[in-house]
Amino acid sequence: MKIKINGEIKEVDQNTNLQKLIDRYCESNKRVVAEVNGIVVQSLSWANTPLKDGDEVEIVSFVGGG
């Protein structure tokens, strides 16, 4: 199935959930915010958030620095 991740269309497995997607595209889950179709999803719900064809996902990783 095809979903849009941070503005780019990607092909992912049919039974992908948000947790699997974040594990695949992020080095660390500790400082990540994710939204699906404009709705922020809490990290405790990532594994229970299935994705479907055409979904739009935004993943933002925070980086410390000074």
Q: What is the CATH number of the domain that holds 28?
A: 3.10.20.30
Cβ pair 21, 29 in contact under 8 A: no
Domain count of the fold of the chain: 1
pLDDT tier for residue 44 given thresholds of 50, 70 and 90: very high
Q: Which long-range contacts (CB under 8 A, 24 or more apart) does 37-42 make?
A: none
Beta bridge partners of residue 59, listed in sequence order: 34
The pLDDT tens digits for 17-30 are 999 999 998 877 67
Residue 66 is assigned to a structural domain of this protein? no
Q: Domain span at residue 47? A: 2-61
Q: What is the pTM of this model?
A: 0.87
